[in-house]
Amino acid sequence: MLIAGNWKMNTDVPEGRALANDIATGLSERPDAFADIDVLVCPSFVHLPAVSDALADAPVAVGAQDMHAEDAGAHTGDVSAPMLTSIGCDAVILGHSERREYYNETDADVNRKVKQARTHDLVPIVCVGESLQQRQAGNAASVVTQQVEGALSGVSIADASELVVAYEPIWAIGTGESAAPEQAQEMHAVIRDNLAERYGADVAADIPLLYGGSMKPHNAHGLLSQPDIDGGLIGSASLAADSFLGIADEAVHVRQEEPA
C-alpha cells in the first residue's frame, strides 16, 4: 500500500518544512504500524531540498510533481531528472490532469517522461483519469485505457515493474466529491486488465494502482479496501499532517483486516 501526498502549488518553504516535520513526528509516534505502508510526499521543486532534509530520518520517500523529458539544455523554467536524483528524489508524478489541461501535455509527452524517469531510476507515478463529460458520455474506460497505452508505449517489463499508476477522475479532484469505492474499483480493474495484457498478470498484479480525487480520512477506508486499489494520491488532505496520516492510518487498518 502506498500513501502519497501531492502538495501541488501550496505552502512556502518554511511551511513545507514544518509540514514535513509534522509528518515525521506523526510517524515516529506510530513506530510499528507502518511496516506494510509506503509513504511519499511530492512538494513543489523549491521545497525538495528542505523537505528531503526534514524527512532524512523518517520512513517517507520524496518525489517531484513533474519533470522535463531531457537531461539538460535550453528549457527555461524546467527541471530535469538528474536534478531530481541529485537531491535524493525517489519518484515523480507524471501526466497529472492539471499538467495535461494547463500545459497541454499529451500522452506522447507523458511517455517520453516515463522513459526518462526510468533511465534515471525514478519511479514514475503516471496519472490517468476521465473528465465528467467523458464519463457521462460512457467513455471513461476507453479514455483511461488510451492514456495508459499512450503513457506506456514501448516501456519494458523491467521498467513497468518500477511503475505506479494513479487513477484520478478529473471530476473528483479538488471537488470534495470522491468516486464511490465501486466506481473507482471498476476503473482500477480496467487499468489492471490492460497492464496484464501488456506485461502479464504477475507483473500487473504488482504495479501499485493509486486512487486520487478527494480522498480524505473519512472515505479512505472504503476506497482502500477495494481489491485493485493499492493506495492513494492525495491532494488537499495531504496539506495537514493530521489528515494525511489519518488516511495512512486507514491504510494500516485495511491491511490489518486482510486475511493472512
Interacting residues toward ligand 13P by CB under 6 A = 6, 96, 168, 173-174, 212-215, 233-237
Instruction: Report, in Å, the least distance between residue 35 CB and ligand 13P.
Output: 25
98 vs 96: CA distance, rounded Å: 5
CA dihedral 148→153→156→160, nearest 10 degrees, is -10
CB of 116 to ligand 13P, least distance (A): 20
- Residue 97 vs 199, nearer CB to ligand 13P: 97
The answer to whether 162 is a known catalytic residue is no
Q: How far is the CB of 236 from ligand 13P (least distance, A)?
A: 4
The residue type at 242: D
Gap between the Cα atoms of 102 and 122, Å rounded: 24
Nearer of residues 199 and 226 to ligand 13P, judged by Cβ? 226
Active-site option among 98, 105, 130, 168: 168
| Closest separation in Å from C-beta 129 to ligand 13P | 9
Residue nearest to ligand 13P (CB): 235
For ligand 13P, the closer CB: 11 or 214? 214
Cβ distance 39 to 69 under 8 Å?
no
95's grid cell: 501526466
Active-site residue (options: 47, 68, 96, 188):
96
On the CB side of 186, CA atoms within 13 Å amount to 10
Supply φ then ψ for residue 40, to 5 degrees: -140, 140
96 is catalytic: yes
How many residues does this entry show for the chain?
A: 260
Place of cell 486475511: 259
Quote the CA–CA distance of 120 and 132 in Å, as a whole number: 35
**Which CB sits closer to ligand 13P, 123 or 199?**
123
Q: Which residues are catalytic?
A: 96, 168
